[in-house]
Amino acid sequence: MVVILDGKRLRNKILEGLKFEVECFDKKPSLAVILVGNDTASQIYVNSKKKTAEGLGIESKVYTYPDDVLEDTILEKIKELNEDSTVNAILVQLPLPEHINKQKVINAIAPEKDVDCFTLENTGKLFAGLEPNAYPCTPQGVLFLLDEYGINLDGKHVVVIGRSNLVGRPMGQMALMRNATVTICHSHTKNLESITKTADVLISAVGEVLIEDDMMKDDCVVIDVGISRGENGKIRGDVNFETVSKKVAYISPVPGGVGPMTIASLMVNTVKLYKEQIKRSL
């Protein structure tokens, strides 16, 4: 029988623990979010982050800017937030409009407030096998989910599909840090199936349906990070859940799998950065 990796349940458990922890703090932790443009998906994500934070007693301020905002305006806001000791965590929602230099903006965030692990200092630490100030939210959320179900990556073949800076690359690195043997596949990978068939854990982060039940072993753990909208308007993942869930040992659904874990992870990181900043200020 397949086990469904329930991200909603684990998110609720993590948030409950965090809420209790935050209640015990003298000062509220604070998360600042920068949102540029009117991408509907980004607006939905940001609203959800703000609502979740506030539900835990974390202060959350969203700074919204029009699509044609100057890069300098964003850089100035980040500088101001960096210098504001009441702000513990800063998140710049991606994607940013084309005219804005994403790397420059992200890298302007003070590394100790970089809640996404996007700055070069934190990514550098991550890829050097050192501890960043906070781990990237989605890969960390995937690991929380695997831990909850007692799935150990040591010595396992973890196949990641997708090489984005947001998910694929850090996911591969974090699995490697757990002593997995890691293969990262992408759009130029030849003979994808021959690789996925050897996966103990298959993590797909592509954004289109491409994982079918003949692509993996029976005892595979399938993690679906993909999110897209089907013709019927419904949210769906990269995995054909109908067929794959009948075959494998574990599977994360979409929605209700990795998505809720990303937000839980963001809250964990906000509290972590807050605690480290308090410690440093003592």
How many angstroms separate the Cα of 257 from the Cα of each of 109, 141, 144, 227, 234? 29, 10, 11, 11, 15
Q: What is the DSSP string of 49-62?
A: HHHHHHHTT-EEEE
Beta carbon of residue 52, minimum distance to ligand GUN (angstroms, whole number) = 13
8 in active site: no
Binning the chain into helix, strand and coil, the percentages to the nearest 5 are 45, 15, 40
Q: Which among 6, 49, 77, 247 is annotated as catalytic?
A: 49
- The residue from 52, 88, 93, 123 that contacts ligand GUN (CB under 6 A) is 93
Rg of the Cα atoms in the chain:
19
Residue 204 contacts ligand GUN per CB under 6 A? no
List b or e across 201-237, with b for residues whose CB sees 16 or more CB atoms inside 10 angstroms: bbbbbbeebebebebbbeebbbbbbbbeeeeeeeebb
Residue 126 contacts ligand GUN per CB under 6 A? no
First vs last C-alpha separation in the chain: 52
140 in active site: no
Closest CA to 125 of 174, 180, 91, 160: 174
Beta carbon of residue 80, minimum distance to ligand GUN (angstroms, whole number) = 18
Binding mask 165-184 for ligand GUN (x = CB under 6 A): -x------------------
> Which CB sits closer to ligand GUN, 123 or 138?
138
Residue 96 contacts ligand GUN per CB under 6 A? no
Beta carbon of residue 213, minimum distance to ligand GUN (angstroms, whole number) = 28
Residue 94 contacts ligand GUN per CB under 6 A? yes
Residue with tokens 């991200």: 7
* Beta-bridge mates of residue 181: 157
Q: Which among 6, 114, 116, 224 is annotated as catalytic?
A: 116
Residue 14 contacts ligand GUN per CB under 6 A? no
Token digits of residue 112? 């100790």
Residue 62 contacts ligand GUN per CB under 6 A? no
- The residue from 91, 174, 216, 263 that contacts ligand GUN (CB under 6 A) is 91
> Which CB sits closer to ligand GUN, 102 or 197?
102
- Residues classed as catalytic: 49, 93, 116
Chain residues binding ligand GUN by CB under 6 A are 91-94, 116, 137-138, 166, 262
